[in-house]
């Protein structure tokens, strides 16, 4: 407020804003309301936009005029449209003559709208301001542009834009109010994403109908081909998307957990799936006991271990996770006591040849410039990390840690430098910014673990027994989030008597 008046935009500023809105509306898609169940007609999205253009006589000055027109705000500035175009006259266009598209406010027949750059260029006969009909077709519009054009206004707030991608498959989870338009939505997604060939929609609740987190689906666009190949963390994963669990939105979480692991450590991946934690860890020279109860996941896991050449470090299993937690700890200790190890021979640093004043004698054979270097990784006697990525029920498995290292206190501090393992448990809880989700998760851990757990600091400095660091992984529903609870296994649980 100034001088008893509320500051407001000047009349000229308001008019400029209104003019900008009108001009930019030229580049919005045509309204194509197809109706529920209608077919996508791409030809209906063609739109003609009448503009002015500066036809440049000498190609050598195009760059100069482009810069000057941009500085004077007379250049067309619209996303995904190049302002440099061939001359609309076919003969001149064939000769390589170019035009510069101008802002919609510039009118061919109104020199007062041209500005100084165009007026002076016209006077020097270096350019001519001509009409130009710009054609925008279906391929120009973004997926959101196209869906807003097709869908009724009441559906514009939550247009399907985020979806899982597995190789060439896009996996939608459409809400009920979008189902009448599902075929159109799928066609648009396939059109606007060149790597997508098949679009499917989930028709049940993941985890409710299948303990292996697979789902029933319907094909909305493309072929019913769910044999896919994905690359994540420098590993290749081949699988059938209908038979195993895969979520492309978890890549950052996979990477976050993998960054905890150090070469030469042992990790137990209790619900490994097809190996998004295990395979990249194996490439980092981490020993992994990787388990999944789904026979199809186990089959893919074995195949992908071979494909990614991590068989020396990653061991696949197909067992119940409740039993596997203790089995992995026992197996790692047995392997260590047997002296199992991985020996890797690789070329060392390139040696510089010695300088000599005399040429080499006849028959002289120089030694190798890259001597072999040997790296040895013995299997450690203890597991450093347990990963439990089954958010619907993983917390219920933590009771299996009781007595996991019964009578093995000598393997850990203070007798050695080895700390008890970190446990990473994924789970679902209330979506909230306060402490309620953390308190709830700790209460559930306490119940199943049989040891009092409490929220700890956020820096993973988990020296105090029972401290839990809880990381918010992602939102999965309006009132539900996925979390990862990380804690160091309490000594009272690890060294307890097994049930």
C-alpha–C-alpha distance, residues 275 and 286, integer Å = 13
| Structure-token pair, residue 81 | 């449209």
471 annotated to bind ligand: no
CA distance 100 to 57: 11
Contact indicator for 436, 424 with CB cutoff of 8 Å: no
Kindly provide the b/e burial profile for residues 392-419, where b requires at least 16 CB atoms within 10 angstroms of the residue's own CB: eebbbbbebbbbbbeebeebbeeeeeee
Give the largest Cα separation in the chain, rounded. Answer: 102
| 320 among annotated binding-site residues | yes
- Whether the link from the prior residue into 322 is cis, omega within 30° of 0, is no
Ramachandran region, residue 213 (left: φ > 0; alpha: ψ -120 to 50; beta: rest): left
Short-list 260, 382, 369, 398, CA closest to 331: 382
Residues 78, 76: Cα–Cα separation, whole Å: 6
Task: Show the tokens assigned to 268.
Answer: 């137990």
The strand pairing partners of 221, in sequence order, are 199
Distance CA 189, CA 161 (A): 9
Please tell me the distance from the alpha carbon of residue 127 to that of residue 401, in angstroms, as a whole number: 80
Residue 4, annotated ligand binder?
no
Distance of CA 345 to the CA centre of its chain: 35
Q: Which residues pair with 373 in a beta bridge?
A: 346
* Distance (Å, whole) CA 397 – CA 36: 46
Question: DSSP alpha helices (H): ranges in 312-386?
Answer: 321-337
Closest by CA to 393, choosing from 363, 437, 427, is 427
| Tokens (6 digits) for 80 | 């995904």
Tell me, rounded to whole angstroms, the distance of Cα 302 from its chain centroid: 24
- Report the half-sphere exposure of 368 (CA within 13 A, side-chain side): 7
User: Is the separation of the CB atoms in 286 and 263 below 8 Å?
Assistant: yes
Q: Which strand ranges, in their side-by-side order, compose the sheet holding 287-291?
A: 314-317, 287-291, 266-269, 385-388, 422-430, 480-488, 467-477, 454-455
Binding-site annotation: residue ranges for S-adenosyl-L-methionine: 254, 320-321, 389
Binding-site annotation: residue ranges: 254, 320-321, 389
């Amino acid at each position: 407020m100034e001088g008893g008046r509320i500051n407001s935009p000047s009349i000229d500023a308001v008019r400029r804003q209104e003019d900008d809105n009108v001009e930019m509306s030229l580049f919005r898609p045509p309204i194509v309301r197809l109706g529920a169940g209608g077919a996508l007609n791409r030809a209906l999205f063609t739109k003609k936009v009448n503009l002015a253009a500066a036809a440049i006589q000498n190609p050598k000055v195009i760059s100069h005029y482009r810069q000057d027109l941009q500085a004077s705000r007379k250049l067309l500035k619209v996303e995904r449209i190049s302002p440099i175009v061939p001359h609309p006259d076919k003969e001149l266009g064939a000769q390589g003559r170019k035009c510069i598209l101008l802002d919609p406010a510039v009118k061919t027949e109104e020199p007062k709208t041209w500005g100084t750059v165009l007026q002076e260029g016209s006077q020097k006969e270096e350019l001519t301001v001509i009409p130009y009909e710009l054609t925008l077709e279906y391929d120009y519009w973004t997926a959101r542009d196209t869906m807003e054009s097709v869908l009724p206004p009441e559906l514009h707030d939550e247009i399907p834009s985020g979806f899982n991608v597995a190789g060439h498959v896009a996996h939608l989870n459409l809400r009920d109010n979008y189902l009448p338009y599902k075929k159109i939505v799928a066609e648009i997604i396939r059109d606007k994403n060149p790597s997508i060939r098949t679009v499917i929609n989930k028709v049940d609740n993941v985890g409710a109908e299948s303990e292996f987190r697979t789902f029933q689906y319907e094909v909305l666009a493309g072929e019913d081909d769910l044999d896919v190949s994905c690359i994540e963390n420098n590993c290749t994963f081949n699988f059938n998307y209908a038979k195993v669990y895969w979520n492309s939105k978890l890549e950052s979480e996979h990477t976050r957990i993998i960054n905890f692991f150090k070469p030469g450590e042992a990790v137990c991946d209790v619900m490994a799936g097809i190996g998004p934690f295990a395979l990249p860890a194996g490439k980092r020279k981490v020993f992994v006991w990787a388990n999944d109860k789904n026979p199809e996941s186990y089959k893919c896991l074995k195949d992908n271990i071979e494909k990614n050449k991590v068989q020396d470090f990653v061991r696949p299993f197909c067992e119940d996770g409740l039993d596997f937690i203790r089995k992995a700890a026992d197996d790692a200790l047995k392997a260590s006591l047997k002296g199992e190890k991985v020996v890797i021979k690789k070329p060392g640093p390139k040696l510089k040849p010695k300088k000599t004043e005399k040429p080499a004698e006849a028959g002289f054979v120089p030694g190798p410039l890259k001597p072999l270097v040997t790296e040895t990784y013995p299997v450690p006697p203890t597991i450093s990390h347990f990963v439990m990525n089954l958010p619907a029920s993983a917390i219920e498995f933590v009771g299996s840690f009781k007595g996991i290292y019964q009578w093995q206190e000598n393997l850990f501090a203070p007798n050695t430098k080895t700390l008890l393992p970190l446990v990473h448990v994924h789970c679902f809880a209330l979506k909230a910014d306060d402490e309620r989700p953390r308190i709830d998760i700790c209460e559930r851990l306490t119940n199943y673990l049989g040891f009092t757990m409490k929220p700890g600091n956020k820096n993973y400095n988990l020296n105090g027994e029972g401290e839990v660091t809880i990381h918010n992984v992602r939102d999965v529903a309006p009132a539900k989030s996925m979390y990862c609870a990380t804690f160091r296994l309490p000594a009272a649980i690890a060294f307890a008597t097994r049930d």
